[in-house]
Structure 1
Amino acid sequence: MTTTSARRAPSGSVSGRARDFRLYWVAGGVNLLGSQASGLVLPLVALAVSGSPAAAGLVGGLGLTGRLVTAPVAGVLADRLPRKAMMVTALLVAAAAMTVVAGVLAAGAATFGVLAGAAFVQGVAQAGYESAGAGAIRRVLPADDQRALARLEARNHAMQIAGPMIGGSLYQLARWAPFLADVVSYVVAAACVAAIRTDLSPQRAERPSFLADLRTGLRFVWTHPFLRFVTFWAAGVNFVFGALIYHTILVTGRRGDLPVSIGLILAIASVGGLVGALAAPKVLQRVRPVVAIPVASWVTVGLVAALPVARQPWSYGLLFGLVFLLTPMVAIVFQARAITVTPDHLQGRVATVIGTTGEALRVLAPVLAGVLVARYAPGVAALIFALLLAVLAAYATANVRKLRATVPAVEED
């Protein structure tokens, strides 16, 4: 039995930490850029190969399935194995999967089975990379962790804007081009991770069984008031926002709007998220989180409730952009606190529990969106979404003082 504090593990000089954080930042950004580029066109390629929309959807779903089924295992391994080696290996496995896709497309020999298998393997590899990366982040974060996390959040939004644009442009040149770009992105990301000098390996003296490790991670999240709260909150937000985006796509498509209108709405939303992430540290310097989080949560409810008044794609996108302008600030505060209260040797498991819970619930988001489109007018659906967000806002308001919760002792099985 061991007791572990939540103090930050030493990882070298300030300049060394800054250098390694830049490498970590670039690796994740390049990886996300390539994944966004290929992810946009993979269903299109599957549709062209199989001729079946259902088959195309299955290929996309297999990538998510690979991530979800692997995540619990990857979370445990991220707290047992050298994390840098695990990240590099995962990136190279994903690169191999996309190399196969690019190769068969270039040779004109693509089949549905090859595409489905590659999507699943890529999902498995991505789960490994994300779990190890989540476990390692505490070691490379600068002292100003909120500003650093804001840079990570801004990077993600920027890549979500640029990735699909690059993927679509490369697809116009050749079907295989986006996947070759993804291969390059994985290799570059692996090189960046390999260049990190900080020791990212978990600090633990004992090595209990795999199942005991898994139970320890689950129990730690469940018994820690703040982590339990943020897990439920993040899952709810992922579900509602996922359903809201799908609902927007379905409604605009049903209305006969051009695909460019949908792209405009999502692009404005992503820009809002980018600006919100960049502005969050300055806002949090002036406004206490216990005030900022409830205000941002309730303003978001009002913005979603106002969606029915938007008549044009740009006005709809503007409201979406304002919603995504506010959410990064809340996410950054919660993520920073979650990293702080989690001991080093549990970082991978805790991040995986929180992330997987949200991803698993988000799978149901398209179902909710489809039901609302089929049964209710857009105005009624917007009010339903606003009501769900109001429940989450009330939950956040009631629990925001858990940000000050103390760190419990951790007992290994």
Structure 2
Amino acid sequence: MSTTTGFWQSRGYVSWFTADTAVAVGSALRGFVVPLIAFSVSHSLSTAGWLSTLSIALQQVCGLFGGTIVDRHPRKPLIIGNAVIQMLLWASVSLLMVIGRLNTLILFGVVAVSACTTSLIGQATDAALRSIISMQNYAKARSINEGRDATINMAGSPIGGILYGIQPWLPFVCSAVVYAIAGGSAARLHLHERTGIVTTRGEDTVGVISTGTRKAGRSSFLDDFLLGWKWSFHSQRIPLIIAAASLMNFGLSGIQYTIQLHLINIGTQPFRIGLMDTGVCVGMLVGSVLANRLSDKVHVGRTMCVAFIMAVAFVIPMLLDSSYWVIFFSYAFMALPFPMVNSMLLGFVFSKTEEHMQGRVAAVISAPAQVLSMFCSGMAGSLLPVSGFTATAAIFFVAMTVSSLITLFTAAIKTIPQSSQWPSAQL
């Protein structure tokens, strides 16, 4: 497929996009409501908070192994399996709510199973994209996903709140319905996957044994798991990208928690606190539009230098003035470059990664960012009472600055060409 319209005309891409969008909608609809339901059944803010902690912790632990599972098995059944399991889980929650039998233990169990399922096999949807989209169109396809996700995140919480106001169980029914749509769309996928064990390894390619001969000499789960890490570090470029992206993600997450906790601490109205997230989603939506227009036209390395500098520069106003509207606009503009980073920088990595390695490489890239981000909330909460907003935000600003310096002074990132030259570029 040589043009952007080519993959929109492909039934495979439309089915994939429908399934992936339905999963995102299902997650957004219930994400806002689960803490409210947890509080309503437990009458405890602590319980509601620990429920979110449990979900995040399970996702991070299971996510380390999910990439290997996704790469060792055909992805279409995994996509369908994730959709079916999620549909049954949240349909059960809605039914139990209707008959008045939902309790804290059951809700914890459902959230735990849902989090583990998402992390263990839910990555199959993203991993399958490389089997559908050509290398040249991959960055543009990711930019479309960024815009879609920003729109869903912007609308998901308000819609979930409206549905919750009508009937508390209604968001879960709607979530179950869209998961059913995801499963149905995934059933129409025709993926030409290569799932095999590794026999040879070069700079950018990995040989595979054909499916027919694979079973006799199948490698162990541990070997495949470790191979994902070894392959990701076989060149200098990916570790540097991981370092830059992880530090930037740590800084952004830290500033996000610092803003939220600061506004809560000074007694800001909940609506105005929530408006911050709306501003970020608008910034990301604008960024995704720019990414879509620029992804196949610009030199990726130089664009990444500009994007990282922009993210750092937009933090400076809130360090100089911590009034609400300065923070609001600074925070919103700070999010604008990240769809370009995700579609171009990470798009280059995944477009150059062999199809049967997509899940493991995704796990390797996300693991450092997840580990660092786990401490952001605690750091912000501990530092704010002692140091205040400006000093706390400045600490995370330093991490973002270091990330930008890695990008600016690293040839491995600066030399990534535009997408039309990716087939001949080395990873």
TM-score calculated relative to the size of structure 1: 0.90
Match of 2:158 in 1: 165
Q: Is 1:196 matched with 2:189?
A: yes
Moved more, 237-246 or 206-215: 237-246
Match of 1:367 in 2: 378
Match of 1:392 in 2: 403
The DSSP-based 3-state class of the residue aligned with 1:223 is coil
CA contact (8 A) 1:91 1:129 kept: no
Matching residue within 364, 376, 391 for 1:353: 364
Moved more, 310-319 or 246-255: 310-319
CA contact (8 A) 1:264 1:314 kept: no
Matching residue within 190, 209, 224 for 2:220: 209
Q: Which amino acid aligns with 1:91?
A: A
CA contact (8 A) 2:82 2:122 kept: no
Moved more, 181-190 or 135-144: 135-144
Q: Is 1:248 matched with 2:259?
A: yes
- Where does structure 2 lack aligned partners over 5 or more consecutive residues? 197-207, 418-423
1:137/1:287 CA distance change after superposition, 3 Å: closer
The DSSP-based 3-state class of the residue aligned with 1:306 is helix
1:329/1:260 CA distance change after superposition, 3 Å: same
- Give the total of aligned pairs: 397
Match of 1:90 in 2: 82
**Distance in 1 separating the partners of 2:368 and 2:393:** 25
Indicate the RMSD between aligned Cα atoms, in angstroms: 2.3
CA contact (8 A) 2:304 2:414 kept: no
Q: Which amino acid aligns with 2:150?
A: H
- Where does structure 1 lack aligned partners over 5 or more consecutive residues? 1-7, 409-413
1:129/1:186 CA distance change after superposition, 3 Å: farther
Q: Which amino acid aligns with 1:236?
A: L
Q: Offset at 1:326?
A: 1.4
Match of 1:337 in 2: 348
Output one character per residue of 1:90-113: Cα deviation in whole Å (capped at 9) or x when no partner: 121122221222122112122111
Q: Is 1:21 matched with 2:13?
A: yes
**Distance in 2 separating the partners of 1:104 and 1:168:** 20
Q: Is 1:144 matched with 2:147?
A: no
CA contact (8 A) 2:71 2:359 kept: yes
**Distance in 2 separating the partners of 1:22 and 1:135:** 16
**Distance in 2 separating the partners of 1:407 and 1:343:** 13
The DSSP-based 3-state class of the residue aligned with 2:180 is helix
5 Å-filtered alignment, 1:1-400, equals 14=6, 18-142=10-134, 143-200=136-193, 202=195, 204-205=208-209, 206=214, 207-284=218-295, 287-310=298-321, 313-399=324-410, 400=413
Match of 1:3 in 2: none
The DSSP-based 3-state class of the residue aligned with 1:110 is coil
Output one character per residue of 1:142-164: Cα deviation in whole Å (capped at 9) or x when no partner: 54222111001111111111111
CA contact (8 A) 2:74 2:195 kept: yes
The DSSP-based 3-state class of the residue aligned with 1:79 is helix
Q: Offset at 1:285?
A: 5.2
The DSSP-based 3-state class of the residue aligned with 2:348 is helix
CA contact (8 A) 1:239 1:362 kept: yes
Q: Offset at 1:55?
A: 1.2
Match of 1:403 in 2: 416
Q: Offset at 1:84?
A: 0.4
Q: Offset at 1:15?
A: 5.8
Q: Which amino acid aligns with 2:352?
A: V
CA contact (8 A) 2:132 2:191 kept: yes
CA contact (8 A) 2:15 2:186 kept: yes
**Distance in 2 separating the partners of 1:286 and 1:198:** 29
Q: Offset at 1:224?
A: 2.5
The DSSP-based 3-state class of the residue aligned with 1:141 is coil
**Distance in 2 separating the partners of 1:312 and 1:18:** 49
Moved more, 123-132 or 51-60: 123-132
1:62/1:34 CA distance change after superposition, 3 Å: same
Q: Which amino acid aligns with 1:85?
A: P
**Distance in 1 separating the partners of 2:362 and 2:98:** 38
The DSSP-based 3-state class of the residue aligned with 1:361 is helix
CA contact (8 A) 2:229 2:361 kept: yes
The DSSP-based 3-state class of the residue aligned with 1:144 is helix
Query: Percent identity over the alignment?
Result: 24
Output one character per residue of 1:161-184: Cα deviation in whole Å (capped at 9) or x when no partner: 111111111111122111111111
